[in-house]
C-alpha cells in the first residue's frame, strides 16, 4: 500500500455519558491491559471527502472522536491526498475506492457491491475504501469497533452486504406519538410537524450507519396524508438533511387515499390518470427537496387502510402506480427509489365458526397470483410469520410463492408482543428460526435469507425491514438491554449467517466493557430470554397469548371469538388450529411439498409448532418429552417464570461493575420482569386448568400455599372488586380504595402456627395508567417498604387503564424476618383513577424451591 499524508486537525473526544445515548458507540477508554498493541493505531487520518455532508467526512470525524475516546489520543484529519507516497508515514486513509483509484489506481473495484467496503490494517497503515461514500463510513465504523474491543490485529477484510435493502421502519405520527413505541415520543415529529432540533435524528442516523442500515421510513405505516403538505415535505427534507452525512436515506409511508383526503379529488383509483398525475406531482416535489429519497412504504387494504381493492384493482396495480412515479427520478447511485409494498393484507372480520377460515392464509391468497406483475422497483415486504410478530410462528409461506417478485423480510425490534421492552427478550435466535429456514422450493435449498437477498430467485432487490420505533428516551428503545436487538438486526441484515451469541458478545463489549462477569451475565440472561418468554407467554406454537388491546399482559380467552383470526380454538377438550389440508384450513399446503408434508402430518410437526398446525386434545402426548399438552403448558409456564426469576439475581451480582445509572435501570426492569412472568404463569396455567379441568400432576397450578389474598385481610377504606380477565388476579379478585382521595389499609396477623424465620415478601398489585398511588408496607407498625404505582414513569410507558394482566405486577421485599403474631399492614393511598389496587401478599420462606 502506498500512501502517506500531512494533516492538521484537532481531535474531540465523545463525552462518555452512560444514559445510553451513545448506544454501542460509546468509545469508552480502553483498559490498560488491552492497550499494549495500540501503538499501531496511526497518528493521522486522511478523509477523502468532497463535501462536509459526505459520509466520508463523517468517517473522518468519527475516527477522530473514536480514537480520542478509546485511546485518549488526538489525531489530526486531512482531506487532501498525500502529495507523496511514503509508507513510512502511517495514517488511516478513508475514502471511496473510486477517489482512491483516481489518484493511485490500485484498488480492485470488481469485488465490491453497493455499500461494500474494504478494510486493510497492516501494521501502522489503515486503508478503508468504500464502494461508495456510505461504504467508506461503514468501514470506518468496523475499524473503530475493532479498536474499541482492543483488537489491533492486521486484517484484510472485504465486506459486502448480503442484501441491498437494509431499512428500518419507524411508526411515528405527526403529533409525536408512536404506534407501538415504548420509549417516549417521536424524535422526528411533534405537534403536526418535524421537530426543530434534529440532534436526536442525527444521533439515530449515526447509530444506524454503524450497523449499516441505509434508510429509514420515518412515519407510521398507518399513514397520515398530511405528510405530503408543502410544509411537511420541507420538514421531511430537513430530516433527510440530518441523516445524509451518515449515508442514511429517508423514505416515507403513504396513505393510499391521499389524492382524495389531501388532494380533494373524488377518487384514489390507481388506474385513474388524474390520480397517477397527483402522485407524480407529489413525488416530484419530494425529490426536489430530497434528491436521494429512498422510496415509499405502503400498507394498503389492511386493518382498515385504503387501497386499490376498493376500486377492484389489484394490489400490484396499486404498488406499480408508486413505482412508476419513483422511476421518473432515475437510478441514483445504484439506489433508485423503491416501493416497499406490505404483504400484511388480511380480512379482520373472519368468522371463527368456519373451521376452514384462517387469517394465516391471507398473504399467499392475496399475493401469489400477482407474482411477476410488479414493477422491478417494487419489493413485497413480508412479516416473518403469517400472523403478526408472535413469539413463535412458522416462516411465512409467501417467501416460497413469489419467484419473479423481489421480497424483503419484516422483523420487529420494538417488542410489541414480546414484552414491550419491559421484559428482556433477545430476538436474533427467534429471527434465525425464520432466516435459516429452508423452504425447499423445487426441492432445492431455499433458505429465507437467500430468498430475501435476491440470490435464490435471482432478484436484483430485496432485503430487510425492521420496525424499530425508537423514541426520545435516552436509551432509544426504553431499555438498555433492548439495544442488542437493534444492533443485531443491522448486523444480520448485512450478514444473516452471523451467530446470535457472537453478535451479542460484541455488543456487550461495546456497551458494557470487558468485565468477564458482565459478559457472562448478559450472555446468559439474553440467550435464555426468548425461550423463557415463549415458555411463560405461549408455547407449542399457540402464539403469544397477549391481551388484544395492549398486546402486553396475558388474556388467553380474548384470542378467540373475534374477527381478527389469531385464534387458539381452545375449548374444554382441546386446543390449536387445524391448518392441515386434509381436515383444516389448508394453510400447510401453502408450503412447497417437502415442507407441507412435515406440517401436514402431526407426527412430523415439531412440538414447538404443534398447536399452530393441529387441533389436539389436552391429553395428547408430545413427541419430544412425552408429556401431555396440558402438563407441558403447566411445566413450561413454571419453568419460564423460574428462569425469569434468575435474571435479576444474576444482574445483582454485577453491582459496581458498571455505572450505577445503567445498572439500576436494568435491575429495575429485570425485577419487573420477574414479577410479571409470574402474572403470566398464573394467568395462563390458571385459565387452561379451569377450562380443561385437568389438574397439574405436580399440584402447583391453582395452589398458592404462601399467599394471603388481599380481600381476606382486615380492610379499612378498601373494597373488593372483580378483575377481568379473572385469571390475571389471584383468586379472580382484588381490592381498591373506597374513595379516590383517602388511603385504605389491609391488615393481617400472622397466626399461631406460623413458622418464624426469613421470608421474601411478594406483593401482587396493579399499576394502571392515570395515577401514581402510594403504598407503604409495615410490620408491627414499623415501616418496611414504600413504593409508588409509577411504572408509567419507570418503564417509560404505561400498559392499561384497568385491572388486568397488563397492569398486574408485583414487588418482592427479600429476606425479612417474620414471627408468629406479627402484624402485616399495607397502606394504599389512591391517586387519580389509581385506587391503590392490591391483589395478594405471599410470604415465601427463604430457600423455598418455588416462587409462589
Ligand atoms: C400490528 C400492530 C399495529 C400495526 C400493524 C401493522 O397489528 O399492532 O399497530 O399497525 O401490526 O404492522 O401494520
Q: Whole-angstrom distance between the N-terminal and C-terminal Cα of the chain?
A: 66
pLDDT attached to residue 15: 33
The Å distance, Cα 275 to ligand 1 centre, comes to 27
pLDDT attached to residue 5: 33
Mean pLDDT of 719-734: 98
pLDDT at 7 over 60: no
Which atom of ligand 1 is found nearest the CA of 551? 8
737 alpha carbon, distance to own chain's centre: 38
CA within 13 Å, CB half, 112? 23
pLDDT attached to residue 86: 52
Q: Could you tell me if 110 and 192 lie in one domain?
A: no
The Å distance, Cα 302 to ligand 1 centre, comes to 9
Q: Is 416 marked active-site?
A: yes
**Residue closest by Cα to atom 7 of ligand 1:** 388
> Would you put residue 731 in left (φ > 0), alpha (ψ -120 to 50) or beta?
left
Task: For residue 528, tell me if it sits in a domain.
Answer: no
Domain total in the chain: 4
Top mutation candidate among 177, 221, 305 for ligand 1, by most atoms within 8 Å of CB = 221
Q: Could you tell me if 739 and 663 lie in one domain?
A: no
CATH assignment at residue 626: 3.90.1330.10
Let me know: does 730 contact 704? Beta carbons within 8 Å: yes
Paired strand residues for 339: 296, 378
> Would you put residue 152 in left (φ > 0), alpha (ψ -120 to 50) or beta?
alpha
Which atom of ligand 1 is found nearest the CA of 221? 13
pLDDT attached to residue 6: 29
**pLDDT band for position 83 (cuts 50, 70, 90):** low
Please work out, in degrees rounded to the nearest 5, the angle formed at the alpha carbon of residue 329 by the alpha carbons of 327 and 334. 80
Top mutation candidate among 182, 381, 416 for ligand 1, by most atoms within 8 Å of CB = 416
Which atom of ligand 1 is found nearest the CA of 179? 9
* Class of residue 122 by CB neighbours under 10 A (exposed 0-12, middle 13-18, buried 19+): middle
Q: Is 303 marked active-site?
A: yes
**pLDDT band for position 3 (cuts 50, 70, 90):** very low
pLDDT at 701 over 80: yes
The Å distance, Cα 560 to ligand 1 centre, comes to 18
Q: Could you tell me if 250 and 127 lie in one domain?
A: no
Residue-wise over 598-619: b if at least 16 C-beta within 10 A, else e? bbbebeebebbbbbbbbbbebe
Which atom of ligand 1 is found nearest the CA of 180? 9
**pLDDT band for position 796 (cuts 50, 70, 90):** confident
pLDDT at 16 over 90: no
**pLDDT band for position 223 (cuts 50, 70, 90):** very high
CATH assignment at residue 276: 3.20.20.80
| Domain end point (choices 100, 128, 159) | 159
The Å distance, Cα 366 to ligand 1 centre, comes to 18
Let me know: does 11 contact 75? Beta carbons within 8 Å: yes
**Residue closest by Cα to atom 13 of ligand 1:** 221
Task: For residue 155, tell me if it sits in a domain.
Answer: yes
Mean pLDDT of 700-724: 97
Let me know: does 176 contact 186? Beta carbons within 8 Å: yes
Q: Could you tell me if 140 and 195 lie in one domain?
A: no
Task: For residue 645, tell me if it sits in a domain.
Answer: yes
Closest CA to 214 of 243, 252, 178, 185: 243
643 alpha carbon, distance to own chain's centre: 21
3-state secondary structure 624-643: CCCCEHHHHHHHHHHHHHHH
Task: For residue 597, tell me if it sits in a domain.
Answer: no
Task: For residue 178, tell me if it sits in a domain.
Answer: yes
Cis check: omega of the bond before 725, within 30 degrees of 0: yes
The Å distance, Cα 225 to ligand 1 centre, comes to 18
Q: Is 767 marked active-site?
A: no
Let me know: does 585 contact 361? Beta carbons within 8 Å: yes
CB within 8 Å of 83: residues ≥ 6 apart: 6
For the segment 741-768, what is each residue's pLDDT rounded down to a tens digit?
Answer: 999 999 999 999 999 999 999 999 999 9
pLDDT at 503 over 90: yes
CB within 8 Å of 274: residues ≥ 6 apart: 259, 265, 267
Phi, psi (rounded to 5 degrees) for 253: -85, 140
Q: Could you tell me if 345 and 256 lie in one domain?
A: yes
| Domain end point (choices 692, 725, 749) | 692
Which atom of ligand 1 is found nearest the CA of 467? 12
The DSSP element (H or E) to which 677 belongs, if any, is helix 660-692
pLDDT attached to residue 304: 93
Task: For residue 605, tell me if it sits in a domain.
Answer: no
Let me know: does 174 contact 217? Beta carbons within 8 Å: no
Top mutation candidate among 169, 180, 465, 565 for ligand 1, by most atoms within 8 Å of CB = 180
Structural domain boundaries enclosing 643:
556-577+615-692
For the segment 136-187, what is each residue's pLDDT rounded down to a tens digit?
Answer: 999 999 999 999 999 999 999 999 999 999 999 999 999 999 999 999 999 9
| Ordered DSSP codes for 193-252 | EE-S--HHHHHHHHHHHHTT--EEE-S-SS--GGGGSHHHHHHHHHHHHHHGGGT-EEEE
Among candidate residues 115, 133, 388, 534, the one labeled active-site is 388
**pLDDT band for position 8 (cuts 50, 70, 90):** very low
For the segment 437-483, what is each residue's pLDDT rounded down to a tens digit?
Answer: 999 999 999 999 999 999 999 998 999 999 999 999 999 999 999 99
pLDDT attached to residue 81: 75
Q: Could you tell me if 272 and 415 lie in one domain?
A: yes
Residue-wise over 242-268: b if at least 16 C-beta within 10 A, else e? bbbbbbbbbbbbbbbbbbbebbebebb
Closest CA to 492 of 425, 415, 409, 400: 409
Task: For residue 634, tell me if it sits in a domain.
Answer: yes
Top mutation candidate among 253, 255, 303 for ligand 1, by most atoms within 8 Å of CB = 303
| Domain end point (choices 159, 191, 209) | 159
Which atom of ligand 1 is found nearest the CA of 222? 10
pLDDT at 14 over 60: no
Let me know: does 162 contact 495? Beta carbons within 8 Å: yes
Among candidate residues 172, 416, 506, 804, the one labeled active-site is 416
Cα distance between residue 402 and residue 316, in whole Å = 13
Which atom of ligand 1 is found nearest the CA of 302? 13
The Å distance, Cα 478 to ligand 1 centre, comes to 19
The DSSP element (H or E) to which 168 belongs, if any, is strand 165-169
Q: Could you tell me if 110 and 205 lie in one domain?
A: no
CATH assignment at residue 142: 3.30.379.10
pLDDT at 817 over 90: yes
- CB atoms under 10 Å from CB of 445, counted, come to 10
**DSSP code for 394:** P
**Residue closest by Cα to atom 11 of ligand 1:** 388
pLDDT attached to residue 4: 35
**Residue closest by Cα to atom 10 of ligand 1:** 222
Beta strands 92-96 and 378-383 are: unpaired
Q: Could you tell me if 753 and 813 lie in one domain?
A: yes
**pLDDT band for position 36 (cuts 50, 70, 90):** confident
pLDDT attached to residue 335: 65
Among candidate residues 284, 303, 442, 660, the one labeled active-site is 303
Q: Could you tell me if 44 and 172 lie in one domain?
A: no
Phi, psi (rounded to 5 degrees) for 689: -65, -45
Mean pLDDT of 590-619: 98
The Å distance, Cα 388 to ligand 1 centre, comes to 8
**Residue closest by Cα to atom 2 of ligand 1:** 180
pLDDT attached to residue 334: 52
Q: Could you tell me if 374 and 447 lie in one domain?
A: yes
Task: For residue 541, tell me if it sits in a domain.
Answer: no
CATH assignment at residue 839: 2.60.120.260
**pLDDT band for position 85 (cuts 50, 70, 90):** very low
Q: Could you tell me if 246 and 286 lie in one domain?
A: yes
The Å distance, Cα 600 to ligand 1 centre, comes to 29
3-state secondary structure 730-767: HHHEEEEECCCCCCEEEEEECCCCCCCEEEEEEEEEEC
Cα distance between residue 497 and residue 565, in whole Å = 33
Q: Could you tell me if 305 and 422 lie in one domain?
A: yes
Phi, psi (rounded to 5 degrees) for 561: 60, 40
> Would you put residue 693 in left (φ > 0), alpha (ψ -120 to 50) or beta?
left
Q: 518-525: long-range contacts (C-beta < 8 A, 24 or more apart)?
A: 518/654, 518/657, 518/658, 521/650, 521/651, 521/653, 521/654, 522/481, 522/484, 524/650, 525/424, 525/481, 525/647, 525/650, 525/651, 525/670
Beta strands 838-845 and 757-766 are: antiparallel
**Residue closest by Cα to atom 1 of ligand 1:** 388
The Å distance, Cα 303 to ligand 1 centre, comes to 8
Distance set, CA 287 to CA 195, 281, 290, 327 (Å) = 21, 10, 5, 11
The DSSP element (H or E) to which 516 belongs, if any, is helix 516-537
160 alpha carbon, distance to own chain's centre: 25
Is the four-CA dihedral 823, 824, 829, 833 of positive or negative sign?
negative
Ligand 1 residue neighbourhood (C-beta within 6 Å): 179-180, 221-222, 299, 344, 388, 416
Phi, psi (rounded to 5 degrees) for 615: -100, 120
Let me know: does 30 contact 148? Beta carbons within 8 Å: yes
CB within 8 Å of 277: residues ≥ 6 apart: none
Let me know: does 770 contact 803? Beta carbons within 8 Å: no
Closest CA to 131 of 61, 243, 55: 55
Amino acid at each position: 500500500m502506498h500512501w502517506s499524508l500531512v494533516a492538521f486537525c484537532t481531535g474531540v473526544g465523545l463525552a462518555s455519558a452512560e444514559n445510553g445515548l451513545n448506544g454501542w458507540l460509546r468509545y469508552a477508554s480502553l483498559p490498560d491491559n488491552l492497550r499494549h498493541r495500540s501503538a499501531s493505531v496511526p497518528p493521522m487520518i486522511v478523509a477523502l471527502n468532497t463535501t462536509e455532508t459526505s459520509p466520508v467526512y463523517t468517517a473522518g470525524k468519527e475516527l477522530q472522536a473514536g480514537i480520542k475516546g478509546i485511546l485518549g489520543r488526538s489525531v489530526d484529519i486531512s482531506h487532501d491526498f498525500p502529495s507523496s507516497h511514503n509508507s513510512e508515514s502511517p495514517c488511516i486513509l478513508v475514502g471511496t475506492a473510486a477517489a482512491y483509484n483516481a489518484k493511485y489506481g490500485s484498488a480492485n473495484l470488481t469485488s465490491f457491491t453497493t455499500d461494500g467496503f474494504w478494510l486493510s490494517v497492516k501494521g501502522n497503515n489503515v486503508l478503508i475504501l468504500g464502494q461508495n461514500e456510505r461504504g467508506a463510513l461503514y468501514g470506518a465504523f468496523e475499524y473503530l469497533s475493532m479498536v474499541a474491543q482492543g483488537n489491533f490485529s492486521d486484517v484484510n477484510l472485504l465486506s459486502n452486504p448480503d442484501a441491498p435493502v437494509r431499512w428500518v421502519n419507524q411508526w411515528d405520527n405527526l403529533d409525536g406519538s408512536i404506534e407501538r413505541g415504548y420509549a417516549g415520543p417521536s424524535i422526528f415529529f411533534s405537534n403536526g410537524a418535524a421537530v426543530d432540533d434534529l440532534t436526536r435524528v442525527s444521533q439515530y442516523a449515526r447509530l444506524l450507519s454503524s450497523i449499516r442500515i441505509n434508510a429509514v421510513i420515518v412515519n407510521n405505516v398507518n399513514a397520515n396524508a398530511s405528510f405530503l403538505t408543502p410544509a411537511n415535505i420541507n420538514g421531511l427534507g430537513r430530516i433527510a438533511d440530518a441523516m445524509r452525512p451518515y449515508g442514511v436515506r429517508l423514505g416515507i409511508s403513504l396513505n393510499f387515499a391521499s389524492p382524495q383526503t389531501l388532494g380533494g379529488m373524488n377518487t384514489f383509483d390507481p388506474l385513474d390518470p388524474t390520480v397517477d398525475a397527483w402522485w407524480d406531482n407529489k413525488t416530484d416535489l419530494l425529490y426536489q427537496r430530497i434528491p436521494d429519497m429512498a422510496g415509499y412504504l405502503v400498507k394498503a387494504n389492511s386493518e382498515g387502510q385504503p387501497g386499490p381493492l376498493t376500486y377492484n384493482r389489484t394490489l400490484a396495480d396499486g404498488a406499480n402506480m408508486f413505482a412508476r412515479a419513483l422511476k421518473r427520478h432515475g437510478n441514483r447511485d445504484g439506489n433508485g427509489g423503491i416501493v416497499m409494498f406490505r404483504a400484511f393484507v388480511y380480512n379482520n372480520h373472519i368468522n371463527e365458526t368456519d373451521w376452514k377460515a384462517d387469517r394465516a392464509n391471507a398473504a399467499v391468497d392475496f399475493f401469489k397470483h400477482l407474482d411477476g406483475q410488479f414493477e422491478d422497483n417494487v419489493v413485497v415486504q413480508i412479516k416473518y410469520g403469517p400472523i403478526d410478530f408472535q413469539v413463535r410462528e412458522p416462516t411465512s409461506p409467501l417467501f416460497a410463492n413469489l419467484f419473479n417478485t423481489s421480497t424483503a423480510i419484516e422483523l420487529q425490534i420494538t417488542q410489541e408482543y414480546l414484552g414491550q421492552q419491559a421484559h428482556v427478550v433477545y430476538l436474533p435466535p427467534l429471527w434465525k428460526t425464520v432466516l435459516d429456514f429452508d423452504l425447499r422450493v423445487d426441492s432445492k435449498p431455499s433458505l429465507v435469507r437467500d430468498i430475501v437477498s435476491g440470490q435464490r430467485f435471482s432478484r436484483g432487490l430485496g432485503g430487510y425491514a425492521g420496525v424499530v420505533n425508537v423514541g426520545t428516551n435516552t436509551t432509544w428503545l426504553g431499555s438498555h438491554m433492548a439495544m442488542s436487538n437493534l444492533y443485531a438486526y443491522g448486523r444480520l441484515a448485512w450478514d444473516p449467517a452471523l451467530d446470535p451469541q457472537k453478535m451479542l458478545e460484541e455488543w456487550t463489549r461495546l456497551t458494557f466493557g470487558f468485565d468477564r462477569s458482565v459478559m457472562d451475565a448478559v450472555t446468559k440472561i439474553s440467550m435464555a430470554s426468548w425461550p423463557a418468554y415463549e415458555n411463560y407467554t405461549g408455547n407449542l406454537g399457540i402464539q403469544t397469548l397477549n391481551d388484544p388491546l395492549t398486546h402486553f399482559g396475558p388474556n388467553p380467552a380474548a384470542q378467540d371469538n373475534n374477527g381478527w383470526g389469531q385464534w387458539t380454538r381452545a375449548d374444554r377438550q382441546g386446543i390449536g388450529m387445524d391448518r392441515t389440508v386434509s381436515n383444516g384450513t389448508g394453510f400447510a399446503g401453502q408450503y412447497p411439498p417437502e415442507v407441507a408434508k412435515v406440517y401436514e402430518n402431526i407426527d412430523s410437526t415439531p412440538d414447538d409448532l404443534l398447536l399452530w398446525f393441529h387441533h389436539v386434545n389436552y391429553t395428547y402426548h408430545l413427541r419430544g418429552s412425552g408429556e401431555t399438552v396440558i402438563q407441558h403448558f403447566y411445566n413450561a409456564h413454571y419453568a419460564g417464570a423460574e428462569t425469569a426469576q434468575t435474571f435479576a439475581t444474576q444482574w445483582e451480582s454485577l453491582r459496581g461493575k458498571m455505572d450505577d445509572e445503567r445498572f439500576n435501570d436494568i435491575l429495575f426492569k429485570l425485577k419487573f420482569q420477574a414479577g410479571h412472568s409470574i402474572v403470566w404463569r398464573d394467568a395462563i396455567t390458571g385459565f387452561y386448568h379451569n377450562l380443561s379441568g385437568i389438574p397439574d400432576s405436580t399440584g402447583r397450578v391453582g395452589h398458592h400455599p404462601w399467599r394471603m389474598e388481599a380481600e381476606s385481610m382486615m380492610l379499612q377504606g378498601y373494597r373488593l372488586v372483580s378483575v377481568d380477565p379473572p385469571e390475571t388476579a389471584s383468586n379472580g379478585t382484588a381490592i381498591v380504595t373506597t374513595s379516590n382521595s383517602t388511603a385504605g389499609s389491609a391488615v393481617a396477623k400472622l397466626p399461631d402456627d406460623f413458622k418464624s424465620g426469613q421470608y421474601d415478601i411478594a406483593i401482587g398489585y396493579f399499576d394502571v395508567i392515570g395515577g401514581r398511588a402510594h403504598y407503604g408496607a409495615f410490620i408491627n407498625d414499623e415501616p418496611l417498604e414504600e413504593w409508588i404505582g409509577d411504572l408509567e414513569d419507570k418503564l417509560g410507558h404505561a400498559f392499561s387503564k384497568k385491572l388486568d394482566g397488563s397492569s398486574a405486577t408485583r414487588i418482592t421485599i427479600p429476606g425479612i424476618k417474620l414471627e408468629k403474631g406479627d402484624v402485616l399492614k399495607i397502606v394504599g393511598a389512591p391517586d387519580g383513577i389509581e385506587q391503590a389496587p392490591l391483589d395478594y401478599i405471599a410470604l415465601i420462606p427463604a430457600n423455598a424451591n418455588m416462587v409462589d
